[in-house]
Amino acid sequence: MTAKVLYNKRGEVAYITLNRPEVKNAIDIESHELLCDIWRDFRDDPGLRVAVITGTGDAFTAGADLKTHAPEWQTIGPMVGRERLEDGLCGITRGPLSRITKPIVAAINGWCVGHGVELAMACDIRIASEMWGYALCGGNTTVMERSQQFFDKVDRGRAGTTSTPL
């Protein structure tokens, strides 16, 4: 079985790769737990100065893997996700790991959907390939609005027409 998340250290850089291309790198419960462990290791390793997170294949991430999250939501209720994932999906979007003081770079190499947008926004720097795209789904209206404003500016920046700071 191939690892769902790859973690390599080369010099002072940590490379994190979401490795579920068959589901557009959707984050299931196991991937979330792996990412939390990886972020703790990155935070606590004095030899690492920066992390780069990306996805395998044609997607950065499709966000939460609803095949693993939705069944519990249907039987227990939607709040179970919030109660269990107090650190947010992927570990760095909320809670203690959201305050890592080392820079994290999102290398957005394809589709960035749903919670994937939140993951990208939690990173300090976002670099997108020419083949990237995004989609916002559900969630908090304020977060959605601000995310939309951000990505609208990124689109204009790609076209070279933005002059306002984020």
Query: What's the CATH number where 49 sits?
Result: 3.90.226.10
Residue 166 lies in a domain: no
* Radius of gyration from C-alpha coordinates of the chain: 16
Question: Please, are residues 48 and 83 in contact by the beta-carbon 8 Å criterion?
Answer: no
Return the pLDDT at 130.
Answer: 72
User: Which residue ranges in the chain fall short of pLDDT 50?
Assistant: 140, 155-166
Question: Please, are residues 52 and 46 in contact by the beta-carbon 8 Å criterion?
Answer: no
Residue 16 lies in a domain: yes
Task: Give per-residue burial for 106-128: e unless 16+ CB within 10 Å, then b.
Answer: bbbbbbbbbbbbbbbbbbeebeb
Q: How many structural domains comprise the chain?
A: 1
- Map tokens 């920046």 to a residue: 157
Return the pLDDT at 152.
Answer: 58
Residue 84 lies in a domain: yes
pTM of the model: 0.77
Residue 164 lies in a domain: no
The predicted-structure confidence for 99-116, as pLDDT tens digits, reads as follows: 899 999 999 988 888 888
Residue 165 lies in a domain: no
Residue 65 lies in a domain: yes
Residue 126 lies in a domain: yes
Domain enclosing residue 51, as ranges: 5-159
